[in-house]
Homo-oligomer: A and B are copies of this chain.
Amino acid sequence: MSERIYPYQQLFNFTKAVFQQIGCTESDAAMATKVLLSADLRGVDSHGVARLSGYVRLWEANRANAKPNVRIIHETPSTAVVDGDAGLGLVVAPFAMQVAIDKAKQVGTGWVSVQNSNHFGIAGYHAMMALEHDMIGIAMTNASALVAPTFSVERLLGTNPICVAIPAGEEPAFVADLATTTAANGKLEILQRKSKETPTGWVQDKAGNPSTNPHELKSGGALLPLGGDREHGSHKGYALGAVVDIFSAVLSGANYGPWVPPFPAYVPMPTDMPGKGIGHFFGAMRVDAFRPAADFKFHMDKWIGRFRSATPVAGEEQVLIPGDPEREMEANRLKAGIPLLNSVSEDLILLGEKFGIRL
């Protein structure tokens, strides 16, 4: 598993050029690139530039629209539904989050459900847009079905992540960004490459038996909801993933459950789809819609300080605040560059050749 390190700006220029080549406007290409690479910076390698050729294949298969007319199709003072016009989620999601922020400015909070979109990168980017406005940001999305609800043999939910970003004062922001499964698909891929087994509670086989085979998804198995099994609370992970699905798609008119379109363009689309594209859900809450921002930040700092200074279990350095590892990773990779597996580099080089762009 050898890898090569690329400066952020090099990957940025390359990725933006690819998005422009498929027809994105310059500003859309820049936005999509910024969102996509935020995953690489924050260490969520599975959701970053490694997926660029996947987005291009969606466009080639006419499943993604490079020049979408993203627009509000319904609204109230604190809510909206956005139609992504089959655009890249990397562009649709920041539009919709901005609508949520604008509504929060007016009436305290804003809540936006999105239909007819595609994969939006990491939830964290969108939720964190709220922070500079002294708002709490919330982002979630559904995704194609890889997860079996408790007691189910069938895969009916995506890994359906939730991000909640909360501003602080002197301390860095609290940013919880989590898939509602025990482990995300990216972690399985790492174990596959290392030829290692998974811990218990991550996957089941196609009959619904517990498994530790990281290749299980390819033979009809499923990821498991956070908790793993009933005895360890998987019905809670299932319920959380279900809430994400319903807020993202049943509220907006997108597809839900087993009908969510797959990311890989070679996978056939589901039949009898009940909605349009995939769905997202965003929220923004002004902290001063509850109490003065300075008071909120003072107590948020106190909360963070108390948790970070808790006595750690022997062998662990300290209790982490959600967002700590990703923030450190981002600072480090902005300086030292982003490592890509050789297989990813080669894929990008091939993609570049198609469009006459050098990595």
Contacts and interface: CB of A to CB of B under 8 A. Distances in A.
A149 B237 contact: no
Given A174-B242, A242-B176, A243-B164, A319 B253 contact: no
A104 to B, nearest CB: 8
19 contacts: A76-B108, A76-B286, A76-B289, A108-B111, A150-B320, A151-B312, A152-B312, A153-B312, A156-B310, A176-B236, A180-B236, A199-B232, A201-B232, A207-B314, A235-B320, A239-B322, A240-B240, A245-B303, A250-B303
A233 interface: yes
A236 B181 CA distance: 9
A236 to B, nearest CB: 4
Nearest to A151: B316
Nearest to A295: B253
Contact of A176 (B79, B156, B228, B239): B239
A302 interface: yes
A153 B77 contact: no
Interface in A230-276: 231-233, 235-240, 242-243, 245-246, 250-253, 256-258, 274-275
Query: Of residues A227, A236, A238, which shows the largest number of chain B Cβ atoms within 10 Å of its Cβ?
Result: A236
Contacts of A258: 306
Contact of A285 (B106, B111, B181, B238): B111
Contact of A79 (B236, B285, B319): B285
Contact of A320 (B151, B314, B320): B151
A78 interface: yes
A46 to B, nearest CB: 16
Interface of A: 74, 76-79, 81, 106-109, 111, 113, 149-154, 156, 164, 166, 174, 176, 178-183, 199-201, 204, 207-209, 226-228, 231-233, 235-240, 242-243, 245-246, 250-253, 256-258, 274-275, 285-287, 289-291, 295-296, 299-300, 302-303, 306-307, 310-314, 316, 318-320, 322
A300 B78 contact: no
A180 B199 CA distance: 21
A79 B306 contact: no
A306 B201 contact: no
Contacts of A299: 250, 253, 256, 274-275
B235 A228 contact: no
B113 A290 contact: yes
Contacts of A199: 231-232
